[in-house]
Chains A and B, each alone.
Chain A
């Protein structure tokens, strides 16, 4: 438990977009995927996940559609739109720049 980290402000959107870049996912799968891919380090705060999804949908970066999940239940699947893909690239760049810079400062200072 102690190796879990809270997400820094503003990174949730980036993670959601990234985890949708391969295939459409429903909300639960997104949070699971982030959790797994981060080797169980990152725990998506569940209270923020859905507001974030709906906000991204409103911004036009992801779109939603109801479909059948793997156990054949109806679930709401989110998919990256073209605008979302561009946004993902931009945000990834920005993030890389930020972490590189922070890294640099930490090493040098």
Chain B
């Protein structure tokens, strides 16, 4: 057994040496035999001849020896491979077409697989027992609406940890963009703010130094120690081991570096990798003195590793009980106002760590799953195309195959050989596919995963494994039909049939493949149409403000303590700096930013009406008199704020259109009063009604928004932060860096200005449609091209087969039009068939796609019609060339060619 294995391995790896040894062994034998004959009195020449004669054919013996050694099977494979390579080289155009087709199909799938894997399956690097590590979510009913959240308070985390028994490890983490470094070197970078226990979830060890300890993560203030990430260490400290003990300002405090995380360690995040890890207590302590015993500041994601013996249901039950307890102690702390945990149905549960698999999954993971299916269809179309080409060639090779069968090649050997050919093609296709995925995949990844770091295809073993699997399936799918067909060849019949390669007959299989291609191209293109229209609808949606003209800028304070007067002076200076920038038309202070941050102060109270909170969520916005002009939000009735609506003037407010209609149904909201908070607060008079805005969910219901003058807001709630909307006369994206520099000059100490076009905050909201549209267009286009190539090759082949028949027709007086019509008819029939079948499939799938669309019916007749027209046009174009070619058939030649 062992000897066998050793020899087989040698046969594989030391082939040349073994061949040489065999040669020597046989030569030695011949020499000895010759010597023997010489000794018996023969001449050397005679002896040699006699020895050879007796020995027999050296090559045949070598073959037998190889067989005896068990290298024969391997030899056959290499022989098949060589033969296949020769066949492929002989027809480079054909080979290139197939490799390209398969490459596109496999590449599309490889790229999508990388993304899906990343979104849904792959566990974070270094994570121990990923199947038992969970992200904790809480859910409750608020304002009559069920809500699910993953951000919790620090104190709630300590409660949940203390009051549950189901977990080995509980930890928290928040990934925040914080200013790292000092002076000019300061950059805003993602920083992981974590509990010390967070590192217990991983099997990673710092490359130098250590993680921070529980002692260093003790509330309230913690210890200012930091572990920096490997890339940050390389980039900023050039990988110097002396980095330990050095200090680094992060956010408002100065941290001492105690360790460097290993390469690839990011903790648990979908976004770009953090520059540093700092203790949750050290960060929180500098922001909020009461974070460790007061509820209200929800900023952390909680992670927990379930004990091996505890099932998820039991863990969830424990978590829910503990969460209800925290809910009630929060209620007690606030003087027993608000809802009890029972009424709120407060519960907590353990979800997978991957956000895309949890309740918070964005539409991108759903869309990505769809696109994966689409990519698979493209691959199937590519396979159908290749199978079709191979079938066409198999017909052309019928005589060759029949001849080989007649010469005694077994059918099984023949199938092996043909499959080797498709394997080789699939392997080449896979290589091309990896190249395509590498190149096109980068674009894809930035589209879906934004700044998440994903290893490129060629470095990712999982994706490569997937590609290999896909190639194998492709080889079997494309190779089986032609191989089986060849193996059934009728030897005598084919050889007898003569040079005309038999008569023209349609293959049912090939017709089916072609219809399949057409049908799925239609399905994908319909998808493309639906997503494109959805995207257009989203873009055309008025959000209630001008997105492209406005820059949002805010001052970020880094531990510079200003007096109230100095802070007010700073805001004034910043506002002046913004307004004096050329191209800026107006600027306004703001407290809320769409899709970024918002302020809710509960539902207002209105005389004569019960609690309004059950109507939905009310958002508070405050701004300068120039607010509406700056944002472009239209005032429908009444007036805007003026400078005289200050803290000494009577309180005023503007309300959104829908809010006015719902709160004061059938009445004019102007002049009505409302108040926020307790009954001691003064009433505000409504002085204007403005159009609705969307600031939380682009698809959501109309929001209720009310506006206060910033002066009155400041007087009531304390001064707002320096945050501005700035309207520019051009493209806001160009102005953001200019404004950043201009306003930065006014900032004291290490504080800095962050400026971004409003569009960059809105764009992620459109992403899933943008992504769906791009993907469906790309893949749909690919499918259409493949189908067109398929149709072209089939029709061309059919024409070639019918040269004789066409010759007869022309000889009998058919004119050019007749011939063209004859050929075109074939293409058009295929297209119509594909359209009919594809439409049926699309209509069945429509229901599942509908929720992904925006204000677009999945049955949109315009889209279906346009795609059908496109398909027909392409079919005609693809058939036109063979049709014209058919008209040039020379009847005399065609008839004589036998």
Contact = CB atoms under 8 A, between A and B. Distances in A.
Interface of A: 26-29, 32, 46-48, 50-52, 54-55, 57-60, 63, 66, 69, 73-76
Contacts of A48: 64
B54 A46 contact: yes
B77 interface: no
B4 A51 contact: no
A50 B4 contact: no
Nearest to B2: A60
Given A27-B29, A28-B28, A50 B65 contact: yes
Contacts of A63: 3
Given A47-B55, A47-B56, A52 B68 contact: yes
A58 B61 contact: no
14 contacts: A48-B64, A50-B22, A50-B25, A50-B65, A51-B65, A54-B69, A57-B3, A58-B4, A59-B4, A60-B3, A69-B28, A75-B28, A76-B24, A76-B25
B29 to A, nearest CB: 5
Nearest to B62: A50
Contacts of A51: 61, 64-65, 67-68
A58 B7 CA distance: 7
B691 interface: no
Given A28-B32, A74-B24, A76-B28, A57 B7 contact: yes
Contacts of A32: 36
A86 to B, nearest CB: 15
Nearest to A55: B68
B70 interface: yes
Interface string B10-46: 0000000000011011101101110010000000000
Contacts of A59: 3-4
Contacts of B54: 46
Contact of A26 (B4, B28, B70): B28
Given A58-B70, A59-B3, A47 B29 contact: no
Contact of A58 (B33, B64, B69): B69
Please list the 6 inter-chain residue pairs (A to B) with the smallest Cβ-Cβ separation, ordered nearest first: A60-B3, A51-B64, A55-B68, A51-B68, A28-B32, A47-B56
A86 B67 CA distance: 25
Given A26-B28, A74-B24, A46 B56 contact: yes
Contacts of A52: 68
B896 interface: no
B56 A27 contact: no
A57 B33 CA distance: 23
A18 B558 CA distance: 94
Nearest to A56: B68
Given A47-B55, A47-B60, A47-B61, A58 B28 contact: no
Interface string B590-629: 0000000000000000000000000000000000000000
B28 to A, nearest CB: 5
Contacts, number: 69
Given A58-B4, A74-B28, A75-B25, 4 more contacts: A28-B29, A28-B32, A58-B68, A69-B28
Nearest to A26: B28
Contact of B64 (A26, A50, A60, A75): A50
A32 B37 CA distance: 13
B1 interface: yes
A57 to B, nearest CB: 7
Contacts of B33: 28
Contacts of B32: 28-29
Given A50-B25, A52-B68, A74-B24, A58 B60 contact: no
Nearest to B8: A58
Nearest to B31: A73
A55 B71 CA distance: 11
Given A26-B28, A28-B32, A76-B25, A47 B3 contact: no
A50 B62 CA distance: 8
A59 B69 CA distance: 9
Contacts of A55: 68-69
A73 B28 contact: yes
Contacts of B21: 66, 76
B784 to A, nearest CB: 56
B61 A50 contact: yes
Of B28, B55, B70, which is in contact with the most chain A CB atoms at under 10 Å from its CB? B28
A87 B29 CA distance: 26
A56 to B, nearest CB: 9
Contact of A47 (B36, B64, B70): B64
Contacts of A74: 24, 28
Contacts of A57: 3, 7
B75 to A, nearest CB: 14
A23 B65 CA distance: 23
A60 B1 contact: yes
B55 to A, nearest CB: 5
Interface in B47-79: 54-57, 60-61, 64-65, 67-70
Contacts of B24: 74, 76
Contacts of B68: 51-52, 54-55, 58
B835 to A, nearest CB: 62
Given A55-B68, A58-B69, A58-B70, A50 B26 contact: yes
Contacts of A76: 21, 24-25, 28
A97 to B, nearest CB: 27
A78 to B, nearest CB: 10
B7 to A, nearest CB: 5
Nearest to B11: A58
Q: Which of B3, B31, B55 has the most CB of A within 10 A?
A: B3
A90 to B, nearest CB: 18
A25 to B, nearest CB: 12
A58 to B, nearest CB: 5
Interface string B475-493: 0000000000000000000
Nearest to B57: A47
Contacts of A75: 25, 28
Nearest to B36: A32
A46 B5 CA distance: 27
A17 to B, nearest CB: 15
Contacts of B29: 26-28, 46, 50
Contacts of A29: 32
A59 B68 CA distance: 10
Contacts of A66: 21
Contacts of B55: 46-47
Contacts of B57: 47
B60 to A, nearest CB: 7
B11 to A, nearest CB: 10
A58 B69 CA distance: 6
A36 to B, nearest CB: 12
B593 to A, nearest CB: 78
Nearest to B63: A51
A63 B3 CA distance: 9
A69 B28 CA distance: 10
A63 B2 CA distance: 12
Contacts of B61: 46-47, 50-51
Contact of B3 (A46, A58, A73): A58
A43 to B, nearest CB: 9
A81 B406 CA distance: 46
A28 B54 CA distance: 13
Contacts of A73: 28, 31
A52 B25 CA distance: 14
A39 B614 CA distance: 115
Contacts of B31: 73
A74 B26 CA distance: 12
Contacts of B1: 60
A28 to B, nearest CB: 4
A27 B25 contact: yes
Contacts of A46: 29, 54-56, 61
A54 to B, nearest CB: 4
Contacts of B26: 50
A73 B57 CA distance: 24
B519 to A, nearest CB: 55
